[in-house]
A and B are shown apart, each in its own frame.
Chain A
Amino acid sequence: MPNFKLDDREIPFEPGETIIRAAQKAGIDIPHYCWHAGLSVAANCRMCLVELMPPPGRPAMLLDVLAWDKIKQEYLPQKKPKLVPSCQQAAADGMVVKSQTSEHVDVARASVQELLLLNHPVDCPICDQAGECRLQDYWLEHQGTKKRMRDEPVHKPKAVVFGPTIVYDAERCIVCTRCVRVSDELAKDPVLSVRERGNLNEIVVAPGRQLDHPYTLMTEYVCPVGALTSIDFRFKARVWFLRSRRTVCVGCATGCNSFSDFDPRDQKVYRYRPRENLAVNKFWMCDDGMLDYRRIHEGRVLEARVAGRPATVAAALATAAQLLVAAGPASTAVVLSAEHSNEDNFALLSLAKSLGFSDIYQSGRPAGQGDDILRHPDKNPNSAGVAALGKASGLKSFVELVEAIRAGKASTVIALGSATPTGSGAAALAEVRSLIAIATHEGAVVDRASVVLPASSWAEADGTFVNAKGMSQESERAIHPHGSSQPAFRLISELAALLGKPLGWKKLTELRAAMAPAAPRSVAPDSASLGAE
């Protein structure tokens, strides 16, 4: 692999790669605003300027400039090397690049910072970006001086509603055009553009349109300053209170890698952020996925129920055990759920095997809208995982379950998951004599259940999800289980112990070891997250 030298380090690069991307892969963050690894190069912020040393034996390209001399108190002619934007300059073998070690680069970055902050309202206390704002970070790193301009800054529109998800503040905007490029290149809906010139320019939505494509929140995500804010997250939390866990989005079968940002004090998830994984979602997530975190706190089943009345989990487990003993294997159906992780489904499958239940069915959320960018029509995160787990047990579809219920072959059903793929399926569940639901959310299944066991959502338990491409991805637990909910695999393990057929594992690691032969893991390449964008 060819190399170039950045300051004191040799950086390997693939032919055609730019200096900034190769450096980023090597773990060096060259300061930048407008460049994003997933977008085209605009090179308009001029923050990533670096000094290219001339080839050996050749003179440096020097520009004549006037530099302020503090002692003589006047401008004096000076020579300065021509700096190049590292986001646009392709790396070449043997190239020598100076970034932090060049005094000219230092001056250039400080000047760019000063220019960008000239008309910037210093309203960090009320700005949602504060704490993860590049203007703040680079001011500390590269500028550190007070504002010299005494004039009133240029005032522009504030809190402009761009669409159902985004609010825009033109005064904070540095017009890096990242949001414009996200709309053009990711969402293929060029609805944003730049108006006016110089210090008057601002981002506008096309006349007669709203910013309402399915990837609007990515414009907010790429915004390096607080110009674009998400209406959903706006003023909800300060980012320095939030902690992150590496999770997988459960909104559809794509399985986008994400960070769940939660407040450890109130154990609440406040937002998702995309996590870079070039094999799955690259740098992005869709709006549906980004807002899917709300389901962690909305419509949840938090207490156990027996015959529609609140009960303790222990009482519900005892009732469920009685129902299962009374039913016998012939008339019992076991329903796995593509909403739940491999761990939960494997636990239920193990219980079914140890009790001799052989009728295994698959349930999940109904299919929805998809596109060829990220969104998958299958709205379940683990359809492939359930299919792989249940293959040996003759996994049957939900339609067959409805037929079995109608035919009176399944009078007792133990079902994982909160949703059914079809509305008629939900109606059929009403005909089941005893329905044991292990569910996270209210819905068709819980409404018709004789016994409801409250299961933890994906944010409250570790889990493995297999996406549509067959890649197995682990999602970390972010918050403690809400209410008296427990991870579904733990509830099932307790149920098995009550029935006198312990499943042989207690901890998650033991469960995963037991599961390994049944669900061979083709782990998705989880590229180390480069830069916390």
Chain B
Amino acid sequence: MKNETVALGPNQVVGAPVPRPQRSASVQTYIPEIAKGLGITMKHFFQNTKEMAFGQRNDPVLEGIEDGINCISYPEQKRPYPARFRGVHRLTQREDGAPRCVACLCCSTACPAQCIHIEAGEYPEGDPRRGYERFPKRFVIDELRCIFCGFCVEACPVDAIRMDTGVHAAPYDSREQFIFEKDILMGFPGRDGSRLTGNSRHEPGEGGHPGVDRDKH
């Protein structure tokens, strides 16, 4: 009985019979189903209108988890990105506002998309950082070419480049606007609002750095 096969129809097709839909008037006219669908739409419409009118809108993230309304009004409202979201790059700064970057080109070496261009410069004679550091005369990232893999952040030996701005590259209308120069990159704050580097290395001339001690001997 369980494995019994029944040949059906004039062609003796073997298989389980499919139940035919009910061809009642209510099914064939579609009207009750249209009314049902519109009902759901109207339910959401009134609920949204009520929430907007009374300011009862829930947190979009919690809303996403719960049942119910999942709409947010992008771009006025945005879903918050996760804590480790890789957004557009920023260059961190020292306390005096200079870029922390030492133009070592480790990031552009690691970059699989080859979107980072750096020209290294040297501090002039007499500057306490001369010999200890170099700085980027130019630091350019092509955000259109970038694949946001984060390798540059991993490669940086001095915590000069980060992707913790929490914003993605905005849609511009020309290619040139995606070429971010040093001043733009240094202008972005991190998500915590800080522009400072987390690199704790002491600098020549600052407390903790012994400086040249040849003359002491």
Contact = CB atoms under 8 A, between A and B. Distances in A.
A517 interface: no
B84 interface: no
A126 to B, nearest CB: 5
Interface string B193-212: 00000000000000000111
Q: Chain B CB within 10 Å — which of A152, A159, A234 has the most?
A: A159
Contact of A126 (B102, B210, B212, B214): B102
Interface in A136-158: 152, 154-158
Given A126-B133, A152-B210, A156-B212, A234 B122 contact: yes
Contacts of B213: 154-155
Interface in A226-257: 234-236, 238, 240-241
A498 interface: no
Interface stretch (B8-16, B54-62, B74-82, B104-112): B104-112
B109 A126 contact: no
B129 to A, nearest CB: 10
A159 B102 contact: no
Contacts of A235: 103, 120-122, 134
A155 B130 contact: no
B130 A158 contact: yes
A240 B75 CA distance: 44
Interface in B87-146: 102-106, 109, 114, 120-122, 125, 130-134
A125 interface: yes
A161 interface: yes
Contacts of A125: 102, 104, 106, 157-158
Nearest to B208: A152
A123 interface: yes
B23 interface: no
Contacts of B102: 125-126
B132 A158 contact: yes
A41 interface: no
A26 interface: no
Interface string A107-128: 0000000000000000101100
Given A126-B104, A161-B125, A170-B214, 10 more contacts: A126-B134, A158-B131, A158-B132, A159-B125, A196-B217, A202-B214, A235-B120, A235-B121, A235-B134, A265-B114
What 7 A-B pairs are tightest by C-beta distance, nearest first?
A158-B131, A159-B131, A125-B104, A235-B120, A125-B157, A238-B105, A159-B130
15 contacts: A125-B106, A126-B103, A126-B133, A152-B210, A155-B212, A156-B214, A157-B212, A157-B214, A158-B130, A159-B130, A169-B131, A200-B214, A234-B122, A235-B120, A238-B109
